[in-house]
Amino acid sequence: MSKLRSPWIGPIVGHVTDTTARIWIRAKAPDDEGVIPSSNNRTVGVVSILNAAGVADPSQTYYFRLHREFDRTGTFILGQDISFGLPEMTEKQKHMGHADRVAPLKPDTHYSIRAGVLVIDDAFEDEENVDSDDLLGRLPPASVWTDALMNLPAHESSAQFRTFPDRTLGQLSFLVGSCRYPGLMFKIKKSDVIFKPMQQRIDNQSQTAQPIRFVMMMGDQIYADLLNRYIPVKRADTYEEFQERYIEAFGSPNLRKLFQSVPNYMILDDHEIEDNWTQDRIGQSDKRILFHLAVGAYMSYQWSHGPRSFDRHLYYEFGCGGYPFFVLDTRTQRFRDDIKDELKDNHLLGRPSPDPVNYPSQLDHLCHWLTAQQSIIGNRPKFIVTPSVFVPNDVTTVRSDGHKNASDSWEAFPVTRERLLEVIVTHQIQNVVFLSGDIHCSCVAELSFRGSSAAEKLKAFSITSSAFYWPFPFADGEPSSYVHDSAKQQDTFHFSGGRYAMDYKAYNFCQDDNFCQIDLNWDRRELTVQVFGKNGDLLVNRDAPTRPEMRALLSLAQ
C-alpha cells in the first residue's frame, strides 16, 4: 500500500466562512525533478478534522485532487465538500465505504485538522484526464489513513483555525501587511523574521473576547524580479523559477506556521509578475509569456485558496462578523498611456465596459458593492483592499497646476479615482476604509470631502502597511517623499467637474519592517491602527514627539 507523506508546502488555511474553511496544500512526488512534476506519479490530498480527543475523525476524512497542471496544489472546502468535491457518491462508492455526507462547520468555533499526501503510480497517458469518480473507485476509503495522518510530523501536516461568526460583531481584529522581499544570501532568513511576532499576537489573543480573525497580505508575497526587471540576474521568467520563488517563500518556517494558524487572504501586486507591471506590456511576446507563467503560479499558490467570488477573476469579496471586504486586483487590469503623456486614458481597474449591466468591469462591481453594502449595513465600515495606495500621493507627482506626472498609485489613474469618489459622495457611502501596501512605508490618512453639506459629513480613511521585509530604506519609502497635508501641499483632488473636492492628512509614517493590527470597535465608533516591528514591539517614531507611538485612533462616523 502507498505511504502517506507530509505536504511539501502547507497546509494553508484560506478563505473561511461561518460554516466552511478552504484548506490548501502543495505535494511533492518521489519522481519529481526538483519543482517539475513527474508524469510517473499522481498525488492525492487527504484531509481530516480532528475530534474532541484531538484524533483524526474517520467520518470526516476526505480525498482531494492535487493536479499536476496546477503544480500539485489543491484545495478542499471543509464543511462543504465530500471526497474530490463530487456532488454525491454513487452506490458503489458508498458500498466501498467512502463518506457520502458532510456536516457544515459550526460558527465561531475552533477546529484542528491534519492533511497529508498520497502518492500513487500513474498508469494513464499524460494526455488523458482521469475522472474523479474513476480515481475514487481505485482508492480505499479515506478513513483508512487516519492513523497515518496522526503519525505525520505535526509542524508539517497540521493546521487550526476559527470559523467566522454568523452574527454581527461589535469588535473585529485582523492583521495586514505587504511586501516580503526574499533577501540575498545570508539575509534570506531575515525575510521570515516578522511572521513570528504576527503568530505570537494571534496566539496571545486567541482566547480573548476579541481574537485576531484573519491575516490579509496585500501584495508582493514574492519578488519575481529580485533585483530589477531590467537585470536578468535573479529574475524569474521560467516555470521552474516561479515555482522556486513560491516554495522558498511559503516554505519558510515562521510563515508556514502562520499559514497553519489563522485564515489567510492574499492579493497580488507587481512583484508577483514584474516591477510596475501594466497590461500594456502584454503586447510584447516575451512579456505575454512572462505574464502567463506569473499568473499561473499566482493562481496555484495564492488565488486558489481565496473566495473566488467572480469566476476566475483575481479580485474578490468576503465578509467577517458583519463587516464587508472587497479585495481589488490593481495590477492585471491596469492600462496606461494609450495616449502619450495623458492621464485621462489610464484605467486602474480595467477599461470601462460598453455594457456594464451585462458585462460589468471590476470598477462596476466595486461601485455596485459599495452602494449595496451601504443599503444593507448602513454606516458600518466597508473595507477596500487595494495593493496600490489610494492616498497619500508622492510629492514628486504634485505640480503647481495640481496635475500628476507618472506614478504607480491611484494618483496616476484620475478617471478611476473620480468614478469611485463620485459613488462615495453621491450615494453617501460612510466609513470607507482603504487598506494598501506597496510603498515600503506605513502610514494612516484621514480623508475629507467638500462640495455639499452631505459630503462634508462623510468620513473615509486610508491605511498603508509596508513592508514585511525591505532592507533598502534608502531606496524608497522615505516619509518626506509623501504628501502629509493635501490642502497645504496643493494636492487637493477635484472631481465631478469641480463640484466636489477630496483632501487628506497623513501621519504615522514608518519605514521599519512592520505589520499592522487593526482593531474595530463599532460600539465606540473607533478604529485603532497599531504598527508592530520585527520584534513584536509597538513601533515608536522618535522623530515625531507629538505622535511618538505608532498607534492611531480613528473616529468613525455614527
What is the phi/psi pair of residue 162, to 5°? -120, 125
Give the three cell numbers for residue 282: 502584454
Give the Å distances, CA to CA, from 503 to 230, 391, 483, 491, 553: 37, 10, 11, 7, 19
The better pLDDT of the pair 154, 131 is held by 154
Return d(Cα 145, Cα 95) in angstroms, integer: 18
In three state form, how does the secondary structure of 6-39 look?
A: CCCEEEEEEEECCCCEEEEEECCCCCCECCECCC
Q: What is the pLDDT of residue 522?
A: 97
Is residue 47 very low, low, confident or very high in pLDDT (cuts 50, 70, 90)?
Answer: very high
Q: With 50 as the cut, is the pLDDT of residue 157 above it? A: yes
Provide the residue count of the chain: 558
Q: With 60 as the cut, is the pLDDT of residue 137 above it? A: yes
Return d(Cα 375, Cα 398) in angstroms, integer: 36
Residue among 510, 489, 468 nearest 402 (CA): 489
**Chain centroid offset of residue 180 CA:** 13
Give the three cell numbers for residue 192: 521570515
Q: With 80 as the cut, is the pLDDT of residue 492 above it? A: yes
- The CB-side HSE value for 212 (13 A sphere, CA atoms) comes to 22
Q: Which DSSP category does 75 fall into?
A: E
**Chain centroid offset of residue 115 CA:** 22
Q: What is the pLDDT of residue 403?
A: 47
Instruction: State whether the Cα torsion 363-369-372-375 is positive or negative.
Output: negative
Span 308-334, pLDDT tens digits:
999 999 999 999 999 999 999 999 999
Q: What is the pLDDT of residue 402?
A: 41
- Angle (CA) 57-59-64 rounded to 5° is 90
Q: What is the mean pLDDT of the chain?
A: 92
Q: What is the pLDDT of residue 159?
A: 98
Residue among 36, 41, 11 nearest 23 (CA): 11
44 contacts 120 by C-beta, under 8 angstroms: yes
Return d(Cα 205, Cα 202) in angstroms, integer: 5
- Antiparallel, parallel or unpaired: β 21-26 and 9-16: antiparallel
Q: ω into residue 352 within 30 of 0, thus cis?
A: no
Is residue 93 very low, low, confident or very high in pLDDT (cuts 50, 70, 90)?
Answer: confident
The better pLDDT of the pair 65, 405 is held by 65
Least confident span in 35-39, 51-55, 256-260: 35-39
Q: With 80 as the cut, is the pLDDT of residue 130 above it? A: no
Which three-class secondary structure state does DSSP give residue 553? strand
Q: What is the pLDDT of residue 125?
A: 60
